């Protein structure tokens, strides 16, 4: 601006332009801020206000130079509005040199429109128009998902659904089951009533069937009544929680405030319902779809069952299933249902189609379990939510035992896919456990071995074909133990066991008994239960020299040993026909097939045709460690998972077994030392020889491994109270000339005559027939 003002005016005529007035922004004068922080002594609202002249109303004349006119206009305005600058207030102390920047005019920070009625009217119009637009927007939003009316509707719906709950499904299932069983009870009663008494046994069987059907129907009716009672109680409690507070608010508002209070109560109820339903539903359930899948999280329904069984070719395209027990969820989140197949369709057809059913349901084959239920055409379907037996195994029940186990009773094996604990009886039975390496065979076998060890009455004979030490912790509890994987030694063990079986039958014949019972075994310890456990059978049965002999002897023991109280269990990692001969396998009544690589290997354990019937251990996943198909009791194998015991838990249980067997007097004593055998003879020379052995092993710190001086031995015998001369010792232990030769002894190396340990042991063997 200064440079423009300094330029000289020119007389050159300028082109004609339209006159304009420049826009000038007016800035109020300000006072600089103080240098310190104390603002109390600076000018404030009590000081005289500055005099501000009014803005010029008449524009100045426009000259030939527009820039000069604008500059002059701005200067005139600034000259008229300029005021003498206020002296800054200097304050003492730490606020010295500070200026109050808040020292404005008499009405600081007040908008200009607040000084006129027109401004206030314009401001109120803006507020009114804004509120009107908000109201219109709120009205337009109500039909949408975000509208308060829709939110309140969703809140009411969700509250009602929570009040209703899922108990109604159980009531419907119980009602359906009660109707079906009642109808069957009526039919059975009619059949029993019209069966002539002349038929005898048929009349009696019909009466018993009618009684069983009636009892089952009565139990179903009671379960239905209990389900209805539980449903009503749960619904009443939830209804009080949901509907109690709104009714209380409305009633209390009306009583205390009349219509206004009633309106407040209704408004609060509306607000609460809208809050509950503030989140819209992500996706409405569509049950009209042509295909539903359990693997996608859908619920099991009767139409789904019909479609799945048709897809698996179990029933025809026009056939339907009869629902005996409605599909329902158990506590483990699995679906279960009892179904009647169409007439002429056996249950084994559905069992064989487990693969196809799993594919139709959209789950793994191991998640589907189909079992026969009561009659040929009725099945129980169980579909687990997740792959079973993949979590951590729970501790076995043997850890909770406070007293000895009972091997004559039932033995806990483990839970099935439904979580129901399974147990078996091994009395007069024998078994085979097989599976590929890593399937959990050793851990599964521990359930039976530990149960036998914890019963002091059971005699243990163990053979470890792996030689890896899996059975070594049980060695001190065994009467016989073969842990070197030696087929020759195992063959000799079987010969000894056959002699024991023969002696047992001789005793049974003498007692006039046909087989060993628990009472008979308690009276005669020679007839106690005997468990023969063979781990890794393949090593023994495939041996070129002893394999066939071992197979033949095992077959003899399994077939004849049951009545004599001898129980045989075999385990193998390669369950092939060359390992487990079919003549032997067919005699083993308990079969436990762990994970196998082929259906043929599974059939080697379970029997030919088991895989074709829907029972194949090949379907067991690698994550299901310790799981297997157990065929022990009943008509069909059952998928179970063995109770698992860690190495520390096994050690603890074996310590208890040792204590209980020691207290019962059945703990094997183990090998008897040669010196103790001599002392038991009571012969004078035997006692001298026994103390000689003690001198070699215990009493002489500087003894050699195989030789001691004669004087040392005489001193030891004298210390034991035996008066033995050198001549008598020489006559008792006759040495050769070479053995009589003197040897150095002691620190000085004096050469003395002595006796070698080998000559003493040879004398004991020659004189008494005993060996170390």
Encode pLDDT of 425-451 as tens digits.
999 999 999 888 888 888 888 999 999
Instruction: Say yes or no: 360 and 493 in one domain.
Output: no
- Please give the backbone phi and psi of residue 554, each rounded to the nearest 5 degrees, phi first: -65, -40
Instruction: Say yes or no: 548 and 566 in one domain.
Output: yes
**What does the pLDDT read at residue 81?**
47
Distance CA 435, CA 447 (A): 16
**What does the pLDDT read at residue 585?**
81
Distance CA 419, CA 385 (A): 13
Answer whether residue 541 shows pLDDT above 80: yes
Does 445 fall in a domain? yes
Q: What are the residues whose beta carbons fall under 8 Å from the beta carbon of 255, sequence distance 6 or more?
A: 261
Q: Which residue has the tokens 């003894």?
A: 703
Phi-psi region of 604 (alpha: psi -120 to 50; beta: other; left: phi over 0): alpha
Answer whether residue 191 shows pLDDT above 90: no
Average pLDDT of the chain? 80
* Kind of pairing between the strands at 459-464 and 530-535: parallel
Q: Which residue has the tokens 């006559």?
A: 731
Q: Give the lowest-confidence range in 93-102, 397-406, 455-464, 585-594.
A: 93-102
Instruction: Say yes or no: 763 and 679 in one domain.
Output: yes
- 25 neighbors 77 (Cβ within 8 angstroms): no
Residue 364: count of CB within 10 angstroms of its CB: 16
Higher per-residue confidence, 58 vs 715: 715
**What does the pLDDT read at residue 209?**
86
Q: Give pTM, 2 decimals.
A: 0.56
Instruction: Say yes or no: 438 and 585 in one domain.
Output: yes
- In the 3-class helix/strand/coil scheme, how is 8-40 assigned residue by residue? CCCCCCCCCCCCCCCCCCCCCCCCCCCCCCCCC
Q: What is the pLDDT of residues 23-73, one digit of tens each?
A: 444 444 444 544 444 444 445 445 454 454 555 555 555 455 545 555 555
Instruction: Say yes or no: 314 and 192 in one domain.
Output: no
Does 208 fall in a domain? yes
- 413 neighbors 627 (Cβ within 8 angstroms): no
- Judge residue 492's burial from the number of C-beta atoms within 10 Å of its C-beta, 0-12 exposed, 13-18 middle, 19 or more buried: middle
- 214 neighbors 193 (Cβ within 8 angstroms): no
250, 276, 302 - which closes a domain:
276
**What does the pLDDT read at residue 517?**
93
Answer whether residue 619 shows pLDDT above 90: no
Does 287 fall in a domain? no
- Please give the backbone phi and psi of residue 633, each rounded to the nearest 5 degrees, phi first: -140, 145
Answer whether residue 119 shows pLDDT above 60: yes
**What does the pLDDT read at residue 676?**
78
- 243 neighbors 156 (Cβ within 8 angstroms): no
Does 726 fall in a domain? yes
Distance CA 456, CA 560 (A): 24
pLDDT band at 131 (very low <50, low <70, confident <90, very high): confident
646, 664, 682 - which closes a domain:
664
Does 653 fall in a domain? yes
Instruction: Say yes or no: 655 and 751 in one domain.
Output: no
**What does the pLDDT read at residue 74?**
56
Give me 554's structure tokens: 């095992």
Instruction: Say yes or no: 326 and 255 in one domain.
Output: no
Instruction: Say yes or no: 655 and 715 in one domain.
Output: no
- Domain extent at residue 371: 294-383
**What does the pLDDT read at residue 207?**
87
Proportion of the chain above pLDDT 70, given as a percent: 81
276, 310, 327 - which closes a domain:
276
* CA atoms in the 13 A half-sphere facing the CB of 443: 21
509: closest CA among 494, 520, 518? 520
Q: What is the pLDDT of residues 542-552, one digit of tens each?
A: 888 998 999 99
pLDDT band at 656 (very low <50, low <70, confident <90, very high): very high
Does 412 fall in a domain? no
pLDDT band at 705 (very low <50, low <70, confident <90, very high): low
- 760 neighbors 692 (Cβ within 8 angstroms): yes
Does 201 fall in a domain? yes
Instruction: Say yes or no: 550 and 495 in one domain.
Output: yes
Over range 550-579, report the average pLDDT.
87
Helix 167-193 with 201-276: angle, nearest 10 deg: 160
- 182 neighbors 215 (Cβ within 8 angstroms): no
Does 225 fall in a domain? yes
Instruction: Say yes or no: 604 and 456 in one domain.
Output: yes
- Judge residue 666's burial from the number of C-beta atoms within 10 Å of its C-beta, 0-12 exposed, 13-18 middle, 19 or more buried: middle
The CATH number of residue 343's host domain is 3.30.1360
Answer whether residue 679 shows pLDDT above 70: yes
Instruction: Say yes or no: 266 and 324 in one domain.
Output: no
Over range 222-242, report the average pLDDT.
90
**What does the pLDDT read at residue 671?**
60
CA dist 566 → 141, 429, 455, 497 (Å): 84, 9, 15, 9
Instruction: Say yes or no: 243 and 318 in one domain.
Output: no
Domain tally, the chain: 6
**What does the pLDDT read at residue 698?**
58
- Please give the backbone phi and psi of residue 96, each rounded to the nearest 5 degrees, phi first: -65, 135
Question: What is the Cα gyration radius of the chain?
Answer: 51
């Amino acid at each position: 601006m200064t440079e423009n003002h300094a330029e000289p005016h020119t007389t050159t005529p300028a082109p004609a332009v339209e006159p304009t007035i420049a826009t000038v922004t007016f800035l109020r004068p300000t006072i600089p801020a103080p240098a310190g922080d104390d603002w109390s002594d600076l000018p404030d609202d009590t000081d005289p206000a500055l005099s501000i002249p009014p803005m010029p109303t008449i524009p100045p004349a426009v000259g030939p130079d527009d820039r000069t006119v604008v500059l002059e206009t701005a200067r005139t305005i600034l000259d008229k509005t300029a005021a003498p600058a206020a002296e800054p207030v200097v304050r003492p102390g730490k606020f010295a040199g500070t200026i109050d920047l808040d020292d404005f005019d008499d009405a600081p920070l007040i908008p200009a429109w607040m000084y006129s009625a027109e401004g206030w009217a314009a401001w109120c119009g803006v507020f009114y128009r804004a509120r009107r637009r908000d109201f219109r927007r709120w009205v337009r939003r109500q039909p949408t998902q975000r509208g308060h009316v829709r939110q309140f509707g969703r809140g009411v719906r969700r509250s009602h659904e929570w009040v209703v709950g899922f108990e109604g499904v159980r009531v419907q299932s119980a009602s359906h089951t009660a109707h079906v069983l009642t109808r069957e009870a009526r039919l059975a009663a009619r059949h029993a009533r019209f069966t002539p008494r002349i038929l005898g046994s048929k009349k009696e069987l019909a009466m018993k069937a009618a009684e069983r059907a009636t009892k089952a129907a009565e139990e179903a009716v009671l379960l239905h009544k209990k389900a209805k009672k539980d449903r009503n109680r749960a619904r009443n409690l939830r209804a009080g929680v949901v509907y109690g507070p709104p009714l209380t608010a409305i009633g209390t508002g009306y009583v205390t405030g009349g219509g206004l209070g009633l309106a407040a109560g209704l408004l609060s109820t509306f607000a609460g319902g809208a809050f509950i339903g503030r989140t819209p539903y992500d996706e409405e359930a569509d049950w009209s779809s042509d295909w539903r899948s359990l693997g996608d999280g859908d619920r099991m329904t009767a139409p789904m069952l019909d479609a799945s069984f048709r897809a698996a070719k179990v029933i025809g395209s026009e056939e339907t299933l009869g629902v005996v027990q409605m599909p329902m969820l158990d506590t483990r989140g699995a679906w279960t249902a009892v179904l009647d197949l169409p007439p002429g369709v056996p249950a084994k057809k559905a069992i064989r189609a487990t693969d196809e059913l799993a594919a139709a349901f959209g789950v793994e084959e191991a998640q589907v379990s189909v079992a026969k239920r009561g009659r040929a055409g009725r099945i129980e379907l169980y579909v687990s939510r997740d792959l079973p037996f993949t979590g951590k195994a729970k501790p076995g029940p043997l850890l909770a035992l406070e007293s000895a186990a009972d091997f004559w009773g039932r033995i806990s094996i483990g839970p099935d896919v439904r979580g129901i604990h399974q147990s078996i009886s091994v009395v007069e039975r024998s078994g085979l456990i097989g599976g590929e390496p890593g399937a959990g065979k050793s851990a599964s076998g521990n359930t039976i071995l530990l149960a036998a060890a914890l019963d002091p009455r059971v005699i243990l004979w163990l053979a470890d074909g792996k030689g890896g030490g899996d059975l070594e912790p049980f060695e001190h509890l065994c009467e016989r133990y073969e842990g070197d994987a030696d087929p020759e030694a195992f063959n000799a063990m079987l010969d000894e066991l056959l002699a024991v079986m023969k002696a047992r039958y001789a005793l049974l014949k003498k007692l006039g008994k046909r087989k060993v019972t628990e009472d008979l075994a308690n009276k005669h310890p020679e007839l106690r239960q005997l468990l023969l456990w063979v781990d890794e059978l393949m090593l023994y049965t495939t041996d070129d020299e002893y394999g066939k002999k071992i197979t033949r002897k095992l077959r003899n023991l399994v077939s004849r040993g049951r009545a004599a109280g001898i129980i045989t269990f075999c385990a193998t990692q390669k369950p092939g026909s060359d390992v487990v001969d079919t003549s032997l396998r067919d005699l083993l009544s308990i079969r436990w097939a762990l994970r196998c690589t082929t259906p043929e290997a599974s059939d080697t354990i379970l029997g030919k045709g088991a895989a074709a019937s829907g029972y194949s251990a090949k379907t067991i996943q690698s994550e299901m460690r310790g799981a297997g198909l157990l065929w022990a009791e009943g008509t069909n194998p059952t998928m179970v998972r063995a109770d698992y015991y860690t190495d520390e838990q096994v050690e603890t249980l074996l310590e208890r077994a040792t204590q209980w067997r020691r207290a019962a007097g059945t703990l094997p004593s183990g090998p008897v030392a040669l010196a103790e055998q001599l002392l038991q003879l009571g012969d004078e020379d035997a006692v001298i020889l026994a103390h000689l052995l003690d001198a070699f092993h215990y009493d002489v710190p500087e003894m050699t491994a195989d030789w001691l001086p004669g004087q040392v031995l005489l001193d030891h015998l004298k210390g034991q109270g035996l008066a033995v001369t050198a001549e008598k010792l020489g006559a008792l232990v006759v040495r050769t000339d070479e053995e009589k030769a003197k040897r150095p002894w002691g620190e000085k190396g004096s050469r003395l005559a002595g006796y070698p340990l080998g000559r003493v042991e040879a004398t004991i063997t020659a004189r008494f027939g005993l060996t170390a």
